[in-house]
Every structure is written in structure tokens, then in C-alpha cells.
Amino acid sequence: MMDEYEVNSTGETAENITENIEENIHDTDTDEMIENAREILAEEEEKPETPEKKTSPLSGFFDIVSIIASAAIIVAISFLFLFRTVGVSGDSMYPTLHDGDRLILSAFVIQPRGGDIVVTCQPSAYSYVESTLVKRVIATEGQTVDIDFTEGVVYVDGVALDEPYINAPTHEPEDFTEPVTVPEGCVFVMGDNRNRSTDSRSARVGCLETQLILGKVFLRLTPLNKFGSMK
């Protein structure tokens, strides 16, 4: 028995027509993809190259100026809030400090300790006693100071101090006549030039309030030949 197939007017079967359509669709899609790829490549080749930016010499100069200006601002702010500078007047701290020395203070002194060199702004009732003093802390609150003026030895809580920084033994009593216990919130100070210093031994100065201490001396700025940290 002969199989029957549908045929179109050209005599092709439906199965042959379907195969031809699928082949034509496949070929058409491939051609379109290839053509699109060629167009994209052509467009990329036609794009002009972006010229490299040339750095102007002035641009580098302005960058350097900006860095220097920023550094100067940081230093200025640091000195405004963290440090202070003061000058030494007189010889009460000789030989450690000399008249005319320029010092840098740390503005943050949470609690002064024995041996620290500090600057105070405590006012005095006496016009001839400067309100700003540079002295060395001998004792802090609660400690007791006693001085043997014959031997020139200073005692804190009964222990003799080793003081290699002084100019001469402490023989000048000023108004000091008996042991002194440092009040709360205060320090007992003396100059390193013990016999030429008006300090806590004198009733004109007495113990200094810690809240009126401007800062601790940590660096000598000038003269340059003595530039360095202070102890």
C-alpha cells in the first residue's frame, strides 16, 4: 500500500517545507549576529583616542604649596591648643636655665611630679614678685618638705633629695622656719639657683596651685646651641 503525503502546489511535502524554513531562520539569525558584530567593531575603530592629560608644572607647584600650607596650619593649631612658648627672665633657675632662654611647654599637665620644671601664672600680692614663674617641683600635695639649711639638704617625707641640677646647696631659708605639708591641689617649688630664688620658701609665693600651672617645660627652643629636651 502506498503512503500518502500532503503536497503543495510545487509538489513539496509539508515535512520538506518545515525543514527549509528552519534552515532559512537559522541562516538569517547567524548572518544578523555576524553583521552586528562587524558594525560594533567598526564603531570602536572609528572612535578617536582620548589624548593623555599633560601635567602642568604649575599644578605640581600648587600641590607643594598646598601641602606646606596644611602643615603650617597643623603646627599653628598644635601650638595653640597643645603647646605654649615662654621666655626665661632672671637667673633663679641657673644653671639649668639661663636668662633669655626660650622654652616650649606641654599644656597638658594632669598631675605635676617631683622634679618637673613648670611655669605658673599664679598672681602675687607683691608687685616685685613676677606672676609668671619658672620653677622646679619639689613636692606635691600631701608630701612634707623639710630643709636642713646648715647642710643645705632638702628632705621630702624624711628622704633626702638627690639634686644634681642645683647651683649650690640650699642655705638661704627665706621665710621657711619649719616643715611644710603641701596642701591639696598645690605643689611646693624652688629654683635651681637656691640662694638666688624667690619660691615656695617665701611667704610672698608659698605653695602654688596646680590649676594655675601653665604647663610643664619639655623643650628648650633657644639658644640653638642648647636646643633639646629638659629634665
Q: Which domain holds residue 91?
A: 84-229
Task: Give pLDDT tens digits for 95-112.
Answer: 999 999 999 988 776 689
Specify whether 169 is located in the same domain as 117. yes
- The C-alpha atoms of residue 86 and residue 223 are separated, in whole angstroms, by 13
Residue 53 among the catalytic residues: no
Among 59, 70, 78, 135, the one annotated catalytic? 135
**Amino acid of residue 122:** Q
Residue 59 among the catalytic residues: no
Specify whether 88 is located in the same domain as 38. no
Q: Is residue 74 part of a domain?
A: no
**Position 130 confidence tier, pLDDT thresholds 50, 70, 90:** low
Q: Given this model, what pLDDT does residue 86 score?
A: 87
pTM of the model: 0.65
Q: Is residue 41 part of a domain?
A: yes
Q: Is residue 29 part of a domain?
A: yes
Q: Is residue 64 part of a domain?
A: no
Specify whether 221 is located in the same domain as 174. yes
Specify whether 32 is located in the same domain as 130. no
Q: Is the pLDDT of residue 186 over 90?
A: yes
Q: Mean pLDDT, to the nearest integer, of 10-32?
A: 49
- The DSSP-derived string for 19-32 is HHHHHHHHHHHHHH
Specify whether 127 is located in the same domain as 23. no
Q: Is residue 76 part of a domain?
A: no
The three cell numbers of residue 200 are 615656695
Residue 178 gets which letter from DSSP?
A: S
Specify whether 120 is located in the same domain as 28. no
Quote the number of domains for the chain: 2
Residues 6+ apart with CB under 8 A from 174: 198, 199, 201, 202, 203
For residue 117, give the CATH number of its domain.
2.10.109.10
Tell me the pLDDT of the chain averaged across its residues: 79
Q: Is residue 90 part of a domain?
A: yes
Among 56, 59, 92, 200, the one annotated catalytic? 92
Q: Given this model, what pLDDT does residue 123 score?
A: 72
Q: Is residue 39 part of a domain?
A: yes
Specify whether 144 is located in the same domain as 224. yes
- Least confident residue range of 46-50, 59-63, 144-148: 46-50
Q: Is residue 180 part of a domain?
A: yes
Q: Mean pLDDT, to the nearest integer, of 76-95?
A: 79
